[in-house]
Amino acid sequence: MFKGLGNLGNIATMMGSLQKLPEMLSELNERMKQETVTASSNCGQVKITMNGTGQVQSVEISDGIAKDSLPQAIQDATNAAGAAAKQVYATAIRELATELELNLPGMDSLLTNLTGGQ
């Protein structure tokens, strides 16, 4: 009559993990502020460094870059660094979910959508 009650232990474990989640996410965000990623423009003359939360930490521009190609180079490097920062953050979220045994349906799909991956 009550088939599936064997999963109540799993639900109890998940509920306990969910109670820890806000604190652990706060710690994760602080850690991501210390993580950095660096990416260069397609031409290699602009380099952007961001932290794991997507905040630009530094911008390096080569002296020889042509003024008319500078905006595109900045855009390329910023987009590449942003994608790398999203990937670092998504990996950290996956690790946190695994650590907390939060096997939530659709988690991988959600993180893939957030990072713009396929």
Query: Tokens 């952007």 sit at which residue?
Result: 48
CATH of the domain at 83: 3.30.1310.10
Q: Is residue 70 part of a domain?
A: yes
Q: What is the pLDDT of residues 60-112, one digit of tens each?
A: 999 999 999 999 999 999 999 999 999 999 999 888 888 877 766 676 777 67
Q: Is residue 77 part of a domain?
A: yes
Q: At what angle do helices 107-115 and 70-99 cross, to 10 degrees?
A: 170
Q: What is the pLDDT of residues 10-28, one digit of tens each?
A: 555 656 666 777 888 899 9
Number of domains in the chain: 1
Burial annotation 37-73 (CB, 10 A radius, 16+ → b, else e): bebbbeeebbbbbbbbbbeeeeeeeeeebeeeebeeb
100: three-class secondary structure by DSSP: coil
Q: Is residue 54 part of a domain?
A: yes
Instruction: Quote the domain boundaries for residue 77.
Output: 6-115
Q: Is residue 52 part of a domain?
A: yes
pTM for the predicted model, two decimal places: 0.76
Residue type, 118: Q
Rounded to a whole number of angstroms, the CA Rg of the chain reads 20
Collect all residues with Cβ–Cβ distance below 8 Å to 49 and sequence separation of at least 6. Answer: 36, 37, 38, 56, 57, 58, 59, 60, 81
Q: Is residue 1 part of a domain?
A: no
Q: Is residue 78 part of a domain?
A: yes
